[in-house]
Amino acid sequence: AGASLAALLAATTARRLPPLPPVPSATPRPALGPAIAEGAGFVLRHPLLRAIAACAITWNIAFFMLAACFIPFALNRLGLSAGEAGIALGGYGVGLLLGALAAPHLVRRWTPGVMLTLGPALSVLAGLALVAGPQVPGLALPILAHFLIGFGPMLWQVSQTSLRQIVTPPALLGRVGATMQVAVFGVRPLGALAGGAIATGFGLDAAMIAAALGFALSTLVILLSPLVRLKRMPDAVTA
């Protein structure tokens, strides 16, 4: 009885509802190839997006060089135990979390140029801390290094995402975002491979030095681009 009453009530209510608006006709989706070319072309032509992409690619190569070699470096060159190496890696997560919490406050105090430079610059300090690690026993430097690698790039990530969405026409947001993601994720295995090859051929210390140089190169990309001179976010592109 209850079910019948509920069905009757639902039918009565449905009859009183206004008619649904017509469903708009779906816009034709562009072919995959031209869509990819359009997104990549826009990134390459735009000076701010081009610098963001170059910095991200360079930084990710360096980071995955470091990531591929850190555990053997920590065990063999820093003299850490497996548990201590895990604690050092935990500094990265803490840096990410605190960077995400600090970013909304810092973007109100610092210019976009400062935020975009600080991320890779702190990674350079992290690389130098790891390079100096064999001369300074203990957990302090590896924890600090991983904290900086998490904290600084999180500030950069927040700023570059906002900037990318502001300067990209709404119709191209998905294609530009996909271009960035494919480029960044595509170079990560190459960075890990390069780190392993350098460590095998020249030693673990050389791999850490190469990673630090990669972070320095990613910072140089920002310093030589219009990004470093940004005093405020540009006006949003609406079409």
One-letter amino acid for residue 135 of the chain: Q
> CA geometry: angle at 207 spanning 149 and 224, to 5°?
55
Low pLDDT (below 50) residues in the chain? none
CA dist list (Å): 164 to 10, 108, 145, 170, 239: 47, 18, 28, 11, 14
Report pLDDT for 5. 56
CA distances from 50 to 57, 100, 169, 172, 221 (A): 11, 24, 15, 15, 10
pLDDT in tens, 2-11: 555 555 555 5
- The structure's pTM equals 0.85
Q: What is the pLDDT of residue 64?
A: 97
CB atoms within 10 A of CB 119: 27
Q: Output the pLDDT for position 2.
A: 53
Q: Which tens digits make up the pLDDT trace of 178-203?
A: 999 999 999 999 999 999 999 999 99
Please report the pLDDT score of residue 15 as a whole number.
62
pLDDT at residue 237, rounded to an integer: 79
pLDDT score for 194: 97
Instruction: Please name each of the domains of the chain with its CATH number.
Output: 38-229 (1.20.1250.20)
CA distance 123 to 146: 9
